[in-house]
Structure 1
C-alpha cells in the first residue's frame, strides 16, 4: 500500500478513520538508553501521513487526535501506530506529523540518494547500505578506500545539483511494469504489497524506495561530506549531513570556536597550536606530579617507621594517589607484622584500595573489605587490592581492621 505520506510527503495534517485498535506491548528506548517494555495500543488507520520505518529511514512521530504516537511499524500492507491511549474503532480522527523530524528525515534521505547516485556515476563506488543517524548519516561504499580529492569533487558536484533546482518526482508502478527493471534497487521486502514506488531525481537517478523525499533538490539547501572512515569487510563509510543539520553543525562549531577563543585567549587560527602547547604542559606536570607522589610515598612510610612507639596498624587516604603510590608505601613499611589500609580517589565516591598485612588476617578480612567498599578485588601473599565503587564506609573499614589488628597483637586471634 502507498500511504498518504508517500503520495504527499509535505502533508502535515490529515483526516482519516480508525480501522482497529488493540492492546499491545512494545520495547521502546528509555531515558537511560536501554529498551523497556511499554504497554499501549496498536492502531491501524484507513490511511496515514505518519511514515512507518523502511528504506533505511526511521519512522515518524506525531499525534492522532492529540494522542501521542510512540512508534509506527510496517506489517505487510499496513502501518501500525503504537499509541499511549486507545482510540475508538470507526471514529474519524485527525493526524498531525512532527514536521521538524519528518523534514529532517526527508533531507537526509534525499541527500543519500543524490550522493549514492553521483558516487557511482563519478567513481564507480556502489552503495551497499546506509544509516540515517540522529546527528549525522553514513553511506557504506563498496570500496576499501577513496582517492585524495574524490570526496571534495563529489561534494562540489552534489551541491551543484542542489543549486540547479533539480526536480524529484515520485512514480507508482505495478510490479509487472517494464520500467521497474530499469531502476536502481536492492530488491523488494518479502512482505511487499501494492504498487512499486520509484523516486526519480531528474537526470541523476531513479531508485526504488518507500521513504519520504523532497520534491526538489533545492529543498536540501546544502550537503556537507564530513569525511570517510574505514568500514567493515573492505568497505568505506562516507559521513554526511544535509539541510538544516548543516546549519546546526555550523552553529555548534561557531559556538565551540567562541568558547575556545575565550578559554585559550587566542584567535581561532591559533587554537590548534595553543591546545598542543597545553597538552605538552599537562604531560610535563603529570610526570612531575608522579615523581612527587612517589617521593611522598617514601617519606610517609619512613616517617611511620621512625616513630618510637608506632602502632601495628597504618591507614591513609590520598585523593590524588594511584596504585603505585599505595604499593610503594606498603613495600617501604613492610606488612609482615603491620596491617596497612590505603585508599586513593574520591573520598565520597569511587576509588582504589590496598589492604596488606599478615597473610591469614588479610585472607579473612579481604572479602569483607571489598563488600563494604562495594567493589572488586583479589589478593595473595598478604596483599589484597582492587577497585572500590564507594569509599563512603572507609571509616567503618578502618575501625574493623584496627579492631582485628589489636586483637592479634593481644594474642586473641
Structure 2
C-alpha cells in the first residue's frame, strides 16, 4: 500500500519516493506506483493531482484497489528513487473549492434538514445537488452565511474519532461508513466525513460565490466558485458590466434601469412595426390583380410568421391559392396556402423538379426550395398562378 503523504501535510508539494510498479496501459499512459506519494488520487468528488515525477509529466492520479496510480507520459524504472512535485496551483485551487463546498453544504443541510446527494468538482466550477428545493429568496443569505466563515477565518480540523465518539457525533455522510472514519469539521458550519484535502483556515478560501441554482430531480443543483475561480469570474462580470454601462452611458449600478427602459422602447417599436407591416400587407393584397385566383408573391426579408400571414390574407382575399417566397441562405423560404386544399399536390410536384424540403397539411405547406427565380416563376405560372410583382 502506498503511504499517503498528502494526509500528513496537504501543503507539501515535493517529496522522494521509490518506484515499485510501472506498466504501459491501454489509455496511452504509463501507470506508475510508488511506495509513498504526495499526489492525491481522485476521490470524494475531488479530481486527482498532476505534476512531475522524476522528470515524467503526471497527467492524473487515480486509486485502484487500494493502489495510487500516477498516470505518466513516460515510463520510470522500477526500483529507482525519484523526486516528485505536485502542481500547487491546481492543488490549492481544489483545496479552496472543496473547502468552500463543505461550508456551504453544511449550512444548507443544517438549515433545510436535507442531504447533499451529489458533488462534482470540475475544472471550471463546482456543482452540488441537494435533496430539497431551496427557495430562491434564500440564496443571497446562504452565500453571505458561507462567506461569514471566511471573514471569521474559521479553522478546518481533521480528526479520526473512535467508534464510541463517532456514534455520538452528528456528521454528514452520503453512505454508511465502517472502520476508521476521517472527519472534516469547519467550526459551527459543517461536520462531514470526507477523504479529500482541504485548507487549514477558511480565510484561505478567499471567497465563496454561487453562480447558479436550478431545480434538479426534485431538489436543487447549485453551481459554485471559490477562491481564484470566484475572483476571476467577478472580474469578468465587472468588466462586462462596465462595458455595458459605457455603451448605455449610465453607471454600472443603473444598468438594470437602463435595460428596462430600452426593453420598453423596443416593445413599443415592435408593436409599431407590426402595425405598419400589417398595413403594408393589406395594401399589397388590394393591389393583387382582380382576375387572379391563385397568386405568387415574392417579398424580401419576411419571417416565417409574416409569410404565413401574407399568404393567408391573399388566399382568403382571392378564395384560391397563394404562394409567398422570400430569399434565404439556401434559396427561397416558402409558404403555400390553398383554399382548394391541394397544397400537398403542388409540394409533391415541387420536390420532383426542384431541391425542395417542406411539409404541412392540405391547406398549407412551408419549407425551403432551391432554384432560379425565373424558373420558379415559370413553374407557378404554368400552374395558373399570377405573379404579383
Q: Normalised by the size of structure 1, how large is the TM-score?
A: 0.71
CA distance in 2, matches of 1:317, 1:89: 75
Q: Point out where structure 2 has 5 or more consecutive residues left out of the alignment.
A: 385-389
CA deviation string 1:267-312 (max 9, x = no partner): 2332222111110111111122222233333434444536x9x998
Question: Is 1:262 matched up with 2:263?
Answer: no
What RMSD in Å do the two structures reach over aligned CA positions? 4.3
CA deviation string 1:370-410 (max 9, x = no partner): x936x6x3123263214x5xxxx7444x466445446656x
Summarize the Cα distance change of 1:238–1:314 in structure 2 as closer, same or farther, 3 Å threshold. Answer: closer
Question: Is 1:198 matched up with 2:183?
Answer: yes
2:296 to 289, 298, 314: 314
Q: Point out where structure 1 has 5 or more consecutive residues left out of the alignment.
A: 26-39
Whether the 8 Å contact between 2:324 and 2:334 is mirrored in structure 1 is: yes
Summarize the Cα distance change of 1:400–1:170 in structure 2 as closer, same or farther, 3 Å threshold. Answer: farther
CA deviation string 1:126-171 (max 9, x = no partner): 432343355554544555555977963x555544443443433334
1:103 Cα offset (Å): 1.9
- For residues 266-305 of structure 1, the aligned pairs below 5 Å read 266-305=250-289
Residue correspondences, number: 373
CA distance in 2, matches of 1:150, 1:379: 47
Secondary structure of residue in 1 paired with 2:45: coil
User: In the alignment, which residue of structure 1 is the partner of 2:150?
Assistant: 162
CA deviation string 1:14-57 (max 9, x = no partner): 554372323324xxxxxxxxxxxxxx236242254443332222
Summarize the Cα distance change of 1:276–1:195 in structure 2 as closer, same or farther, 3 Å threshold. Answer: same
- For residues 4-403 of structure 1, the aligned pairs below 5 Å read 4-16=5-17, 17=19, 19-25=21-27, 40-41=28-29, 43-46=31-34, 47-62=36-51, 65=55, 67=57, 69=59, 71-82=60-71, 85-88=73-76, 90=78, 95-119=84-108, 123=111, 125-131=113-119, 132=121, 135-141=124-130, 143-145=132-134, 152=141, 155=143, 157-171=145-159, 177-181=163-167, 182=169, 184-186=171-173, 196-201=181-186, 205-224=190-209, 230-233=215-218, 235-237=219-221, 240-305=224-289, 314=296, 316-329=298-311, 331-332=313-314, 340-343=323-326, 347-348=328-329, 352-355=333-336, 359=343, 361-367=345-351, 372=355, 377-381=358-362, 383-386=364-367, 388=368, 394-396=370-372, 398=373, 401-402=376-377
CA distance in 2, matches of 1:147, 1:258: 27
Summarize the Cα distance change of 1:145–1:197 in structure 2 as closer, same or farther, 3 Å threshold. Answer: closer
Summarize the Cα distance change of 1:13–1:350 in structure 2 as closer, same or farther, 3 Å threshold. Answer: farther
Summarize the Cα distance change of 1:11–1:394 in structure 2 as closer, same or farther, 3 Å threshold. Answer: farther
Summarize the Cα distance change of 1:249–1:104 in structure 2 as closer, same or farther, 3 Å threshold. Answer: same
Summarize the Cα distance change of 1:8–1:103 in structure 2 as closer, same or farther, 3 Å threshold. Answer: same
CA distance in 2, matches of 1:236, 1:337: 55
Summarize the Cα distance change of 1:100–1:299 in structure 2 as closer, same or farther, 3 Å threshold. Answer: farther
Q: Normalised by the size of structure 2, how large is the TM-score?
A: 0.74
CA distance in 1, matches of 2:321, 2:207: 71
Higher mean C-alpha deviation, range 41-50 or range 255-264: 41-50
CA deviation string 1:244-283 (max 9, x = no partner): 2332233123212211221111223322221111101111
Summarize the Cα distance change of 1:356–1:320 in structure 2 as closer, same or farther, 3 Å threshold. Answer: closer
CA distance in 2, matches of 1:305, 1:66: 82
User: In the alignment, which residue of structure 1 is the partner of 2:387?
Assistant: none
1:183 Cα offset (Å): 6.2
Summarize the Cα distance change of 1:207–1:338 in structure 2 as closer, same or farther, 3 Å threshold. Answer: closer
